[in-house]
Amino acid sequence: MSHARHKRRRPGRLRHLVLPVAGAGAAAGAAVGATMFSSAPAPTAAVASVSPVPSDVEALREEAASGTARGDNGAPAPLAGSGTPSPAPSPSVTAAPTPAPTATVPAPAATPAPTPTPTGFPPVDGCDAIIPGDDVGNGELGDEHLCGIGSGQQLRPDAAASFVALDAFYRAETGEGLIACVTDSYRSYEAQVDVADRKPGLAAEPGTSEHGWGLAVDIGCGANSFDGRLYAWLDDNAGDFGWDNPEWARPGGSTPEPWHWEFAPES
């Protein structure tokens, strides 16, 4: 990279003081002259003839040595704006200590959180089951897809959470438990075949029942009658928790079953 040269601008006016000096030999002499520098060409000045060497040379030397034009170290002081100034001392910089490397701690493996329930009810305590995907068939749900609700009954996680909440609400109002009244819940495909064989015309075709998805319960304790007190309570309150006695199971339906209640998931 080339550097442009900069000419130092001289002051408009500068005076040089020429000190008397002593020369060797007979022709040496001392002359004192003042030379003017300016931006305009200097006029031609008459040069005085060299005077004879003064008799008191030593006195002139002492006067010159003590003049203000000399520096403190005895060398001529640089003229204003000329000479090479001494570089300013660089500030001492103390390097910051390098911090010790922080040990990288591997993050613990994430524990799958229980599947949140679409209805907003808290998951069943101790159950981390997940809702089955499309690759799981009716009646083929495994333990990883089911939550126990008590009394040996199981439902898929969102239905289980909702029914446990419904049971808590029923207890708060009546002082009695609802889960203990459940007579059937999830049915495997084999269980559906068995029910269809024992109750022909009453059970759904195996592989099509909502029981096979873990989304249906059968309830006793008087709910097996449309005139029963428990049926009336469920009809008034179960819908707030996502449960319903479907149209085909209601009075006047194709197969009236007051005990059969299904959970309708939001997704």
Give all domains of the chain, ordered by start, each with its CATH number: 12-77 (no CATH), 143-263 (3.30.1380.10)
The amino acid occupying position 42 is A
DSSP at 30: -
Within the chain, how many helices (H) and strands (E) appear? 4, 8
Say what the pLDDT of residue 94 is. Answer: 53
- H or E element that contains 198: helix 189-198
Q: Write down the pTM of the prediction.
A: 0.57
Q: Taking 80 as the threshold, does the pLDDT of residue 177 lie above it? A: yes
Q: Taking 70 as the threshold, does the pLDDT of residue 152 lie above it? A: yes
Q: Tens digit of pLDDT for each residue in 61-106?
A: 566 555 544 333 333 333 333 344 445 445 555 555 565 555 555 5
Say what the pLDDT of residue 51 is. Answer: 45
- H or E element that contains 168: helix 157-174
Residue of 131, 140, 145 whose CA lies nearest to 189:
140
The confidence band for 265, taking pLDDT boundaries of 50, 70 and 90, is confident
Say what the pLDDT of residue 10 is. Answer: 41
Q: Tens digit of pLDDT for each residue in 225-258?
A: 999 999 999 999 999 999 999 999 999 999 999 9
Q: Are 218 and 182 in contact (CB under 8 A)?
A: yes
DSSP per position, 204-257:
PPTT--GGGGT-EEEE-TTTTSTTSHHHHHHHHHGGGGTEE--GGGSTTSSS--
Q: What are 166's two structure tokens?
A: 């419904």
The confidence band for 37, taking pLDDT boundaries of 50, 70 and 90, is very low
Task: Provide CB contacts within 8 A for 6, sequence distance 6+.
Answer: none
